Amino acid sequence: MKAAILVLSDPTHGKEEALGRVFNALASAYDFKQNDVEVKVMFNGTGTRWITELANPENPVHGLFEAVKDTVAGVSCGCADVFGAAEDVESSGYYYLTENAVPGTRGLPSVHRLVADGFTVITF
């Protein structure tokens, strides 16, 4: 069993719902990690904006993020560009995911590759 968790929620829209989604994404990663299951967390779409938010110690999910940040595989490069998070991601030190060479972008994560590698893909 392997799990890939894609965070798509936008921290700038629907604050409580978005927080609930990222909280549950990270809680799921924590659950898999505690049960010795390989898990990858990826930030895609407007979810790329979470990188700065979660690094803030004032964020209510910061502690949980710290507990699972070793499971973060990276951030969608193309999505960070499109949704204005590229500068924050670049200064965060997280890897850009670029395997899916979508025309007009610097690349996105490959969901195909995740599935081919046996990951169950879960979105929040």
pLDDT for the residue numbered 106: 93
pLDDT for the residue numbered 14: 86
- Assess contact for 7 and 50: CB atoms under 8 A: yes
- How many domains, the chain? 1
- Assess contact for 66 and 97: CB atoms under 8 A: no
Summarize pLDDT for 10-62 with one digit per residue, the tens: 999 889 999 999 999 999 999 999 999 999 999 999 999 999 999 999 999 99
CATH of the domain at 103: 3.40.1260.10
User: What number of helices (H) and strands (E) belong to the chain?
Assistant: 6, 5
Summarize pLDDT for 61-108 with one digit per residue, the tens: 999 999 999 999 999 999 999 999 999 999 998 999 999 999 999 999
Enclosing domain of residue 7: 2-123
Where helices occur in the chain by DSSP H, the ranges are: 15-34, 50-55, 62-68, 77-82, 86-92, 111-116
pTM: 0.95
